[in-house]
Amino acid sequence: MAIDNDVVAALKDRVLGPEHKSLPPAAWGKTVREFLAGAPHLDDLQTPVLTLDRSAMDSNLAVMADWARSAGVRLAPHGKTTMSPQLWGEQLTAGAWGITLATGWQAQVGRSFGLNRIMLANALTDPIGLRWAAAESAAHPEFELFSWVDGVDTVKEMERHLESANVRLKVIVELGGPHGRTGARTVTEALEVAEAVHNSSRLTLAGIGGYEGALAHDRSADGLAAVRRYLTEIAWLHRSIAEAGWYGDRAIVTAGGSAYPDLVVDHLAGLADEEGAQGIPTTVVLRSGAYLIHDDGFYSGISPLAAGRTDHPLRSAMHGWARSVSRPETELALLDAGKRDFPFDEGLPVPQRMAGPAVQPIPEGATVTALNDQHTFLRLPGGSAADVPVGSVVRLGLSHPCTAFDKWRLIPVIDDSDAERPRIVDFLPTFF
């Protein structure tokens, strides 16, 4: 069992209350299941509100599962993007190999919902987290946890806290790059880390990996070249460790965020079938986290699976809905959403359309120019006082799902964000 479906299903029995943004007071005291039984629509909620599109998520699940399968790689989607056990379950049902998380606490949340294979894409040096990992692994041998190491000092710190443990934790040696994030800065340093893990009595060398998205931020020639060089080094590092005999009976090679999974496949997918690496069975794992939600900003501009780059593109599944609360100038509307509601770190929201069937369209050239804590500045060049009147609702395209979900404890799921009156079909609790 990849996840405990009964525990996930029980989330619908949670009681709604004032801590859940956008819900009307009439919903307080009801369970999620009871509120949904009333067949609510989006306009039954207050603004601002973030929504997820069920039809788009279903499409994205199928697109990515088919793409990974045809490429010969496995998926361990980065669960920190959503911190939604319901969505983790859907990804696993669609064929995901496991779920990736970023901190010891996140791994504990995942395990509380029955996740039995977690890639912890970070170093685990917190003593409480290490003791938990050792105890959980000892009590449940079927549970697989892979954490990362990028220095000999990290290996020593883990050994210090695991001195009394009676299990060996599985670790992935992380290769980084100049001006990147974590990760050994050179292949030589990564080999030293791998050797230290091989000689450890508390750790087992399970594979190698890294994150190419820290080395580039676009699809320029220079950016793509930097990613390709890095992935070539990962492949060389894997072969070197295999030839040294430092792996156990299998190996994992993991890379791939949501920006360059195509390059990861080009450079690493062949390792899964390679006979020259001392016959070590190798699983190549992508950790793409944003594909399920996609966006109307950063990922729509860089993903190889975005519209215009493939016959079966990903679709943006998240939108913001905000109400006009002030028209102090002819060419300015203030909406009731802000930084506390919608992501803004990888691009400001984009006005897409007015909600409802009988409202005038947004003028051409309308642009969001700023977000305050609780206001959106919608500029309307050449607009009139009749555009975006007070009380009207604007649908906004958003960028970067990784910083959208953490602003909402409960996210409504609608059937179709293009419908005249979208229907609410589910709610997703998040755990941040």
The residues facing 320 across adjacent strands are 50, 396
Distance CA 399, CA 428 (A): 19
- Output the six-digit token pair for 104: 């010891």
* Full set of structural domains in the chain with CATH: 5-53+314-429 (2.40.37.20), 72-287 (3.20.20.10)
Which residues of the chain are under the pLDDT cut of 50? Answer: none
Q: Give residue-wise pLDDT tens across range 334-381.
A: 999 999 999 999 999 999 999 987 666 788 999 999 999 999 999 999
Distance CA 109, CA 83 (A): 9
Q: So what's the pLDDT on residue 422?
A: 97
Q: Give residue-wise pLDDT tens across range 370-418.
A: 999 999 999 999 989 889 999 999 999 999 999 999 999 999 999 999 9
CB neighbours of 165 closer than 8 A, spacing ≥ 6?
Answer: 131, 134, 138, 202
Yes or no: say if 39 and 124 are a contact pair by the CB < 8 Å rule: no
Q: So what's the pLDDT on residue 277?
A: 58
- Output the six-digit token pair for 44: 């039954």
SS3 helix, strand, coil % of the chain, rounded to 5? Answer: 35, 25, 45
- The CB density around residue 188, as the number of other CB atoms within 10 Å, is 9
Q: So what's the pLDDT on residue 359?
A: 60
